[in-house]
Structure 1
Amino acid sequence: MNVEQLRQLMEERGENQAGLARLIGITPDKMSKTLSGKRNLKLEEGNILRRYFGLDGREGERSRPHPLPIVGLVSAGAWREGFEHIRGYMPSPDGDLSSDSFVVIVEGDSMNKIVADGEAVIVDPSQRELLPRRYYVVRNASGETTFKQYQDQPARLEPCSTNTAHRTIYPGQEEFIVIGRVLKAVRDL
């Protein structure tokens, strides 16, 4: 991938230097030097960018890209306004995910047995049927969202937390709609 091609892809996608720097794990200054031709991409950095922009192994040929929008925050705790505008995109870790899937950043500790505060999860809005022991993002009538695990007998949305202060949400006692099922946590190990 050459600098001109990278700039063209950035323009087509509306990407900025800071976002791509985060994606490949370098500083914005290093990305600026790369785009000005003063620094060459390392092999792994180039591979990450090729996958992200949907380029296959042949220079300039595109495969079918499947970027996931990062749409903001979801509360792992009390109800809180969370969804914002699209903050950026990330490559899909799984080609089988629905094209409607999106990413949210978890804020809070009510799900810390599953996902830590600040980690990202992938939500599929086409999967709204409540199934026991699955995870969901839900929204109340005020437009606030939260992330919980569904359990049945009795039906409820439960926190999965080491913090016992978080409460269970019971359908009928609180009105909510299911935004989608949380399918994956996105984390580096």
Structure 2
Amino acid sequence: MAAVKQKKSAMAQWVEAALLHRDISQSELARLLGQRLRIGFDRSKVNKIVTDHREVSAEEMLAIEEITGYPAPAGLRTVAPTDKTSAKVVQVALLDTVAAGKLKAPSSQIPVEDVPLLAFADLGRGDFFALTVEGDSMDRISPDGSVIVVNQADRTLVSGKSYVFSDRGKAAFKVWRPEPPRFVPFSTNPIHEPHYVKSKAEAEKLVIGRVKRTVLDL
């Protein structure tokens, strides 16, 4: 007598549909999940999800939605397990563009009601907004067109960390270096130059916030 094939769970079916929607393999999804969640995540874990041998946490479900652009059905949001380590999801306003290059004036004035909101997990404490990067002076970590999440509650300068700063009404995105005090590009393009300041104290007056995360859709 032939075995009866068991129907897959709604979660497994959704992950399979998300893979098809984005047209990526299980291995590629595993790689992107590992990058997004900052944990080890291999193809076997994705395979166990789509074969109903592994549950999906709330944080993983959010990450799969962000990676594939395929939203989970409302019913699954009550199914995904949560625990004390599950990340809090924060809605972050995507306000404008920022130059990864020469200083640039803000390009638009967006009405409050039209500001798009992006969902991020595991940002920690802070006051966040998001910007779209223009230019290639930071392309080693944030290529042109990527989105950066900025914590405007964190303005303390730390060497090697990235910041959005404003000088004479124009904003830019660069890495802080203290000796001599300057904001420097981190780019594959050698034409970009540092932005020098007189002192760390002066630089901190220019800082809008520290860049917490960079995101790029492939």
Residue 112 of structure 1 is matched in structure 2 by 139
Q: Which of the pair has more CA radius of gyration?
A: 2
Among residues 153, 165, 176, which one is paired with 2:191 in the alignment? 165
CA drift at 1:93? 2.8
Q: Identity rate of aligned residues, in percent?
A: 30
Displacement of 1:162? 1.5
CA gap of 1:95–1:168, structure 2 versus 1, over 3 A, is: closer
Q: Report if aligned partners of 1:69, 1:89 keep a CA contact under 8 Å in 2.
A: yes
Please state how far the C-alpha of 1:46 moved relative to its aligned partner. Answer: 3.9
Counterpart CA distance in 1 for 2:101 and 2:70 is: 36
* Residue matched to 1:147: 173
Q: Kindly tell me: are residues 80 and 95 of structure 1, through their superposed partners in 2, closer, same or farther at Cα, counting changes over 3 Å?
A: closer
TM-score by length of 1: 0.63
What's the TM-score, normalizing by structure 2? 0.55
For 1:102, the equivalent position in structure 2 comes to: 129
Q: Which amino acid aligns with 2:180?
A: P
Note the residue ranges of structure 1 that are not aligned, 5 or more in a row: 1-23, 26-43, 59-63
- 1:164 Cα deviation from its structure 2 partner: 1.4
Gaps (5+ residues) in structure 2? 1-20, 23-68, 80-87
State the one-letter code of the partner of 1:123: V
- State the partner residue of 2:78: 57
Choose between structure 1 and 2: higher helix proportion: 2
Match of 1:32 in 2: none
2:4 corresponds in structure 1 to none
CA contact (8 A) 1:101 1:123 kept: yes
Q: Is the Cα contact below 8 Å between 2:174 and 2:184 reproduced in 1?
A: yes
Structure 2 residue aligned with 1:125: 152
Shift of 1:66: 2.3
* Aligned mate of 2:100, from 73, 76, 86: 76
Deviation per residue, 1:128-155 (Å, 9 max, x gap): 01100000000012x1100000012211
Secondary structure of the equivalent of 1:139? strand
> For 1:45 and 1:118, how far apart are their aligned partners in 2?
21
- Say whether 1:178 aligns with 2:207: yes
> C-alpha deviations, 1:99-119, integer Å up to 9, x for none?
x20110000011011110000
Offset at residue 187 of structure 1 (A) = 2.4
